Structure formats: structure tokens, C-alpha cells
């Protein structure tokens, strides 16, 4: 080990260092052969160095993953020791290496993020059994080789034109979460611990260090669990951590690893890599989740041992940072300097997650559900994020980079064009004004009203603030938030939606109930009416914030006229309460409902009589009309919103609204997609509320549209009853013929 340490430190080139390592290992193990195979970008294992096999085979012999014993180790990511290698069914003979005279074989993989980077092999002429200790020594050397690869050193000796796998360019695909293209460099939200010492000087003191670190980590976890503000899912995760931190098997593996002569941190990393490799090959989601927990726990221990920080320091963010994390809470993202963030890549979060909502609000191109991204990238790697398509390019080649730079430039140019439309009124070619409003939910959204030229905020999702708060926001806090929202749009009325929680929108500090069907469960106004204290406090805060102004309050997920009446009654009580206490009230209070539940379609007469306004929540309305979960990737795209049944349902609402003179708005995602917005305007929608980045594109469409002409065309094709699954192509054809930009 001492001589190995010296070999690692010698100022020689990588090939000389590798050559030296194989000689040392062979002599130390009294073996005739020691070879190093490195995984190339084309998934072949190339012989990079050997002692004992034919020298000419170096950089010439290659094996496929799964081919031969070396390929088998690469695939399984597990060591293999055989006294009679030639008797193994996977044995494969490579004549150029002259290896047929060797009988025994032992090989260990070197791993990073659970992926095999290469294989270290030792062979003996005689049939001999390798001891467990010998395998462990090889595993330590494999760790050194993995470090050499991560440092980029080995790429320099690869054959010209071939890349080694660990540094190869990779195109990954995940779920698009927030639009835009970002080019930059990886910043790991939880930076990987850099281990500088692998080989121990004194095994005894490393055991002591390990034990002390485990003790401190356990105590920290206990403290967090005992802390009263730790709640919900986080508490459950910590409980699991506590279980693992006391798991005998895990602790034994760590101690055994230290006994092989490596430092405590190297031992944790080795055990961690083993479980990562198992995790990548594990198909049972429950087991994967547990292995993930174990990984997280190992990270904590590594940070404990090395004193390195658990999270990137948000204040020292480099320019052009692309944040990469397994998961991340919305509040953590808000800690980073937005001006330096070019993108975000997450392993676990999906498009409907809270972090996605915040990333969209901040305008950070984001891709989620990218498998093992934290294991694939290294701090500082070049990376590109396309939040529109879900593509992530890791260590891109220069032509890929050029293509994306061009894409980003084009996008920026288009944004400039939209910017130029900022103060242009959204009026169709035939003179119909269309209200383009903005959806918002956080303070960071507010500047977008100015930037985009949105008429006002057509939907303020109040639950977002609740979701990122550590505890239930008191009325005063709510009042201050709603007041800032009103102040951000001084001339126009803002439409506040009361708490839309439940379903997947969980408040960490509120008791949750297991529900078979959360989307059809106890959520939104249903909670509000069953727990009126909550709703009343919120309404009170809104009424105070709207003092002297017009205030619009909208109730979500209303399914019956009675629910609206009940909510109005609560509001009236709050008005009285504030009056009694001498507060100033809004000079004009408008109460409305979100039309999201199909049952309302058949009580429109009764409903419109009672409400001041209606805003169609097409995201939920479509989900319930088609019985297709909007967050379930397998079904969400199954039905097109531009299909006859959905368009007819949407038309029936505006038709009814027009006949009784009640304004109907729409605030689902449909309103922000130009072609869908075009159809909506043709169906009679005159007020759309959308995410800020959609205002420009939708306005560009409106300016070129002749509503009356498209209305006629759309009514005709809707009356065809030809059973076509979608009218999208027809509408696209129409827009193209009329020169309407989409």
C-alpha cells in the first residue's frame, strides 16, 4: 500500500502510472497477470495496461459489456473470483493476449455513481483460491483507479478518437418542467465529497474516526426528529435514516471496509458505491427507494467525516451554473442567486411538483425525472438543459453545443420580439380586445406583470406560499403577501384563489389522510368548507389587502351551487367582522368560482345567476372530463384538448355566459399555448390567464387573428360529427393559411 501511494504521487504520465500499478499489484499478489480494462464511451472495455499479458494487446484488445469474465464483472458491477476460470461458462478467449495458460482469475469493477468505469483483473497460472482479503485489496486499488478516471487523467492516454465512458458525452432525456434552453456548468446542489486520502496510515485510528462520525450523525438525526418543526414526509425520511444508521449489516460492512486498510471516508464511499450499483440494477421501486435512503445516509456520513459542506453554498455560485440535484425543495431553490442560474436538472421531481412551479415562476429552464443524473455528472462538467423538450446534454461535443447555442439565441431573439409587443394592446384584426392576464403564486412572480405587459393577475394560486412555508402562515403574514400582490398591480383587480390544497398539494405541517383517489378526494373548497376557520382567516386577510380597491375572490373545485353559496356566506361573515372592527373594506367585492368540476356544466343557469364571474380551470376540467390524471405521464397526453368533446364543453360555457351577460375567463395551461388559445378565443373566451412566458406568444397570435372568421370555421368543423380524435391539424392548417404565428 505504501508503494502504491508513492506510485500515485509520482509526477509521471498516466500510462506510466498505470503500468507501474499493474506491476506492483501482480508482484504483491504473487500473480503472473494484472490488467486494467477501462470502459469506453462505445461501451467496450479496452485493455489499458497489463503485466503478464502480451504488451501489444494494450489499447488493442476490447471486450463488449457482458462478453467474457471481464464483461460479466462490468455488467454485474460485482467482484468475481474463480479458481478455474476456463471452466466458467462466460470465459472467452482472446488469442492476442496469450492468456490461455492462466487458470485462476479475480476481477473487481471500479465504480462511480453505481456505473462501471472499468475492471481490474489478476490472474494466476496455477489453480488457486483468492482470499476475501485479496479481493478487498483489489477493491481499494480499484478506488484509486476510479479517482484517476474522475480526474480526467486517463482520457489523455486513450486512443485518439475514442473517449472513455466516465467522461463521455451523454444525451439524456427527462420530463420537461420549465421552458427554455440553458448552457453552463454543473453545480451539484449536494456536492460530492472529494476524498483525498484513500489509503489509511493507521487502521485503528480510522476505526475510531468512523465510530465517532457515526455517533455524531446519529445524534444529529435524533435532534432533528425531536425538533417540533420537523413534520410530515421529512420526519418519515429521518425515521428511516435512524433505522439505517443503527442497521448492523451496514455498520459491519463499513467496519470491514476500514479493516482492509483504507480511510474511514474511503470505506463509506466503497460501501456506498456497492449499494448504488445495486440500486441501478434494482427494479422493485420500494427497494430502490430504500437504497436511495441508504445513499443519502452515506452522504451525511461522508460530510461528517470530511467536514465538507452538505449543500452548495448558494452565495458562491459561479456564473452559468446549472444546478443538479436528486431532489430539492422550492425554498432551497429560492436561496440561489437567480441571475447566475442557467438551468436545473433533477433526478426525481416531475412536472407537477412544487419545485417545477417555482422553477417556472423563476424562468429557469428545468428538466426532471432524469435517471441517475447525480451519479453521471461531476462538479464543473459542461451541461446543457432544454426545458422545452426534456433533453439534457452532459459533456456535449462542440457541434451539439453550437446547435444549442443557436437554439438559445433564436429563443432570445423571439423573446425580444415579444418584448416589443409589451405595450401593444391585444386586439384581434377584426377589433376584438382579448384580456391577457398572468398566473402567479409567489412574490418572485410579481415583476413579470410589468415585464410581460400582462393586463393583470387572473389567477393568484395562494397555496404556493403555504406550501413553501415551514408552518401555517398567520393572517398577518397572508395579509402582507396579498397586499404586495395588490400593490404590484395598482390599477387592475387581481383574482385571488382561496387555498387549493389536498390531492398532491400537501402542506408539510398539516395532518394528511391517506386517500385512495386524492384527485377526487378531500381537497380545495371541500377542506375550506369543512374547516371554515382556515378559510375565514384567509378571506379576512384578502379583504384587508383589498381595502379601498376592487377585490376578486375565486373558489376552487366547486362542484355545486350550494358550495359556492356556503363560501359566499363565510365571506359575508368576514366582511361583517371587519366592519365591526372598523377596517376599511374593498369598494367592490366580486366572488367567483373556478369551473373545474364537470357537474357545474349542468347547473350553469343556477350558478351564473349567483356568481360575479367564472374562470374555467381547464387543467382540472379536462382531467375530470376525460378521467385521465393530469400528472400521470401514461395517460395525461391520451386525449387532445383540441378534440370535439372538450371544445364543445368549453363552448357550452361561453354560450351560456354570453346569453346571461356574465364574463367567462379561463386560467388553465390551454390558455397559454397559442394554438389552443386561438381556439378558445374563437369559442368566445375574451379573457385568458396564463404563465408569464406565454403572454408574448399568445399576443402575437391574437394580433393576427380574425375571430369571426375562425369562429365560423370552428363551429362548422365542430358540427361535422366525424369522430376525429383531434381538430388540431385542421386548426394548424387554418393558422398557416392565414399567417397566424403559433
Grid coordinates given for 661: 351577460
Q: Which does 667 bind (CB under 5 to 8 A by kind): ligand PEP, Mg ion, none?
A: ligand PEP
Q: C-beta of 497: minimal distance to ligand PEP in Å?
A: 8
Non-local CB neighbours of 674 within 8 Å, separated by 6+ positions: 694, 697, 698, 700, 701, 741, 742
> Closer CB to ligand PEP, residue 558 or residue 604?
558
Catalytic site residue from 354, 437, 448, 566: 354
Shortest separation between residue 681's beta carbon and ligand PEP, angstroms: 17
Q: Is 587 a catalytic residue?
A: no
Angstrom distance (rounded) from CA 466 to CA 492? 25
Q: How are the residues of the chain apportioned to helix, strand and coil, as percentages rounded to the nearest 5? A: 50, 15, 35
Closer Cβ to ligand PEP, 192 or 461, answer by number: 461
- The answer to whether the beta carbons of residues 70 and 44 sit under 8 Å apart is no
Q: C-alpha cell of 314?
A: 448558494
Q: How far apart are CA 248 and CA 239, in angstroms?
A: 16
Strand pairing category for 391-394 and 170-173: antiparallel
CA distance 166 to 39: 8
| Chain residues that interact with ligand PEP, rule: CB under 6 A | 459, 461, 500, 596, 617-620, 667-668
Of positions 391, 574, 620, 669, contacts Mg ion by CB under 5 A: 620
Q: Minimum distance between the CB of residue 596 and Mg ion, rounded to whole angstroms?
A: 5
As measured in angstroms, the least distance from the Cβ of 617 to Mg ion is 4
Sheet holding 382-386, edge to edge: 170-173, 391-394, 382-386, 181-188, 321-325, 341-346, 366-368, 175-178
Q: Binding string, 567-596, against Mg ion, x = CB under 5 A? A: -----------------------------x
Alpha-carbon gap, residue 8 to 645, rounded angstroms: 70
Round to whole Å and give the CA distance between 411 and 405.
10
Task: Name the residue whose CB lies closest to Mg ion.
Answer: 620
CA dist 373 and 346 (Å) reads: 7
Shortest Cβ 357–ligand PEP spacing (Å): 9
Half-sphere exposure of 384 (CA within 13 A, CB side): 23
The three-class DSSP label of residue 142 is: helix
354: annotated active-site residue: yes
Contact 675, 731 (CB under 8 A): yes
Among 343, 368, 396, 617, indicate the residue that binds Mg ion (CB under 5 A): 617
In angstroms, give the least distance from the CB of 213 to ligand PEP.
Answer: 44
Q: Return the C-alpha cell found at 474.
A: 398567520
Per partner kind, with CB cut-offs from 5 to 8 A, the member of Mg ion, ligand PEP, none near residue 563 is none
Tell me whether residue 32 or residue 596 sits nearer to ligand PEP (CB atom). Answer: 596
Using CB distances below 5 to 8 A depending on partner kind, what does residue 189 bind out of ligand PEP, Mg ion, none? none
Q: Of the two residues 508 and 617, which places its CB atom closer to Mg ion in the complex?
A: 617
First to last CA, the chain: 66
117 versus 467: smaller Cβ distance to ligand PEP = 467
299 binds, among ligand PEP, Mg ion, none (CB under 5 to 8 A by kind): none
Q: What are residue 436's DSSP bridge partners?
A: 688
Residue 657 touches which of ligand PEP, Mg ion, none (Cβ within 5-8 Å per kind) = none
Q: Is 669 in the site for Mg ion (CB under 5 A)?
A: no
Q: Label residues 550-573 b or e (16+ Cβ within 10 Å = b).
A: ebbbbbbbbbebebbebbbebbee
Q: Residue 627 CB, nearest distance to ligand PEP (Å)?
A: 15
Nearer of residues 19 and 596 to ligand PEP, judged by Cβ:
596
Q: Which residues contact 131 (CB under 8 A, 6 or more apart)?
A: none
Among 301-309, 464-472, 609-617, 723-731, which window interacts with Mg ion (CB under 5 A)? 609-617
Q: Which does 461 bind (CB under 5 to 8 A by kind): ligand PEP, Mg ion, none?
A: ligand PEP
Nearer to ligand PEP, 421 or 459 (CB): 459
Q: Are 605 and 612 in contact (CB under 8 A)?
A: no
Please give the size of the binding site for Mg ion, defined by CB under 5 A: 3
Q: Which does 618 bind (CB under 5 to 8 A by kind): Mg ion, ligand PEP, none?
A: ligand PEP
Of 85, 140, 135, 82, nearest to 111 (Cα)?
A: 140
Query: Minimum distance between the CB of residue 670 and ligand PEP, rounded to whole angstroms?
Result: 8
CB of 257 or CB of 622, closer to ligand PEP: 622
Catalytic residue ranges: 354, 667
Residues that bind Mg ion (CB under 5 A): 596, 617, 620
Amino acid at each position: 500500500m505504501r508503494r502504491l501511494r508513492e506510485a500515485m504521487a509520482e509526477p509521471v504520465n498516466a500510462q506510466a502510472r498505470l503500468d507501474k500499478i499493474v506491476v506492483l499489484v501482480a508482484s504483491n499478489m504473487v500473480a503472473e497477470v494484472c490488467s486494467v480494462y477501462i470502459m469506453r464511451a462505445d461501451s467496450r472495455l479496452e485493455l489499458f495496461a497489463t503485466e503478464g499479458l502480451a504488451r501489444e494487446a494494450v489499447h488493442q484488445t476490447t471486450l463488449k459489456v457482458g462478453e467474457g469474465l471481464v464483461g460479466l464483472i462490468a455488467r454485474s458491477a460485482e467482484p468475481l473470483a474463480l479458481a478455474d476460470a476456463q471452466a466458467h461458462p462466460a470465459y472467452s478467449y482472446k488469442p492476442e493476449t496469450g492468456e490461455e495458460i492462466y487458470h485462476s482469475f479475480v476481477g473487481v469493477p471500479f465504480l462511480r455513481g453505481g456505473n462501471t468505469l472499468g475492471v481490474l483483473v489478476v490472474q494466476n497460472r496455477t489453480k488457486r483460491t483468492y482470499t476475501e482479503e485479496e479481493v478487498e485489496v483489489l477493491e481499494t486499488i480499484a478506488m484509486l483507479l476510479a479517482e484517476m478516471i474522475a480526474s480526467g487523467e486517463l482520457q489523455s492516454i486513450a486512443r485518439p478518437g475514442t473517449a472513455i465512458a466516465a467522461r463521455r458525452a451523454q444525451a439524456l432525456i427527462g420530463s420537461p418542467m420549465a421552458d427554455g434552453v440553458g448552457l453552463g456548468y454543473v453545480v451539484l446542489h449536494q456536492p460530492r465529497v472529494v476524498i483525498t486520502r484513500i489509503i489509511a496510515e493507521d487502521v485503528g485510528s480510522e476505526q475510531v474516526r468512523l465510530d465517532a462520525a457515526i455517533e455524531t450523525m446519529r445524534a444529529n438525526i435524533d435532534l432533528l426528529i425531536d425538533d417540533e418543526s420537523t413534520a410530515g414526509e421529512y420526519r418519515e425520511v429521518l425515521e428511516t435514516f435512524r433505522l439505517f444508521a443503527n442497521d448492523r449489516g451496514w455498520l459491519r460492512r463499513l467496519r470491514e471496509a476500514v479493516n482492509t486498510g483504507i480511510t474511514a471516508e474511503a470505506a463509506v464511499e466503497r460501501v456506498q458505491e456497492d449499494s448504488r450499483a445495486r440500486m441501478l440494477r434494482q427494479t422493485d421501486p420500494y427497494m430502490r427507494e430504500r437504497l436511495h435512503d441508504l445513499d443519502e445516509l452515506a452522504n451525511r456520513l461522508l460530510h461528517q467525516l470530511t467536514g465538507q459542506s452538505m449543500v452548495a453554498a448558494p452565495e458562491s455560485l459561479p456564473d452559468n451554473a446549472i444546478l443538479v440535484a436528486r431532489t430539492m425543495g422550492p425554498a432551497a431553490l429560492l436561496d440561489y442567486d437567480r441571475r447566475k442560474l442557467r438551468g436545473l436538472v433533477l433526478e426525481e421531481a416531475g412536472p407537477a411538483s412544487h419545485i417545477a412551479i417555482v422553477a417556472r415562476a423563476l424562468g429557469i429552464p428545468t428538466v426532471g425525472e432524469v435517471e441517475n443524473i447525480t451519479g453521471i455528472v461531476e462538479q464543473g462538467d459542461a451541461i446543457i438543459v432544454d426545458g422545452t423538450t426534456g433533453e439534457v446534454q452532459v459533456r456535449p461535443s462542440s457541434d451539439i453545443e453550437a446547435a444549442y447555442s443557436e437554439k438559445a439565441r433564436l429563443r432570445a431573439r423571439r423573446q425580444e420580439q415579444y418584448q416589443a409587443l409589451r405595450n401593444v394592446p391585444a386586439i384581434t384584426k377584426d377589433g376584438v380586445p382579448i384580456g391577457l392576464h398572468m398566473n402567479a403564486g409567489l412574490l418572485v412572480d410579481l415583476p413579470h406583470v410589468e415585464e410581460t405587459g400582462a393586463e393583470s393577475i387572473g389567477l393568484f394560486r395562494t397555496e404556493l406560499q403555504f406550501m413553501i412555508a415551514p408552518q401555517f402562515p398567520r393572517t398577518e403574514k397572508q395579509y402582507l403577501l396579498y397586499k404586495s400582490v395588490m400593490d404590484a398591480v395598482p390599477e387592475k383587480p387581481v383574482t385571488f384563489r382561496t387555498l387549493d390544497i389536498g390531492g398532491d398539494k400537501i402542506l408539510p405541517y398539516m395532518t394528511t389522510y391517506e386517500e385512495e383517489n386524492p384527485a377526487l378526494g378531500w381537497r380545495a373548497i371541500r377542506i375550506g368548507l369543512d374547516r371554515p376557520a382556515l378559510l375565514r382567516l384567509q378571506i379576512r386577510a384578502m379583504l384587508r389587502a383589498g381595502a379601498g380597491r376592487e377585490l376578486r375572490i375565486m373558489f376552487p373545485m366547486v362542484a355545486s351551487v350550494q358550495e359556492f353559496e356556503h363560501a359566499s356566506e363565510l365571506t359575508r361573515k368576514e366582511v361583517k367582522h371587519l366592519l365591526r372592527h372598523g377596517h376599511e373594506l374593498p369598494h367592490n367585492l366580486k366572488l367567483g368560482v373556478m369551473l373545474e368540476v364537470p357537474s357545474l356544466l349542468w347547473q350553469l343557469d343556477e350558478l351564473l345567476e349567483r356568481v360575479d364571474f367564472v374562470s374555467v380551470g381547464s387543467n382540472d376540467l379536462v382531467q375530470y372530463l376525460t378521467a385521465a390524471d393530469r400528472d400521470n405521464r401514461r395517460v395525461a397526453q391520451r386525449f387532445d384538448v383540441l378534440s370535439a368533446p372538450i371544445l364543445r364543453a368549453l363552448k357550452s360555457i361561453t354560450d351560456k355566459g354570453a346569453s346571461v351577460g356574465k364574463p367567462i375567463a379561463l386560467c388553465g395551461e390551454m390558455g397559454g399555448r397559442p394554438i389552443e388559445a386561438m381556439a378558445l378565443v374563437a369559442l368566445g373566451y375574451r379573457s385568458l390567464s396564463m404563465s408569464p412566458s406565454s403572454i408574448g406568444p399568445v399576443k402575437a397570435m391574437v394580433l393576427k387573428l380574425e375571430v369571426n372568421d375562425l369562429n365560423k370555421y370552428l363551429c362548422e368543423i365542430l358540427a361535422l360529427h366525424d369522430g376525429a380524435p383531434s381538430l388540431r391539424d385542421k386548426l394548424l392548417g387554418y393558422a398557416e393559411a392565414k399567417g397566424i404565428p403559433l
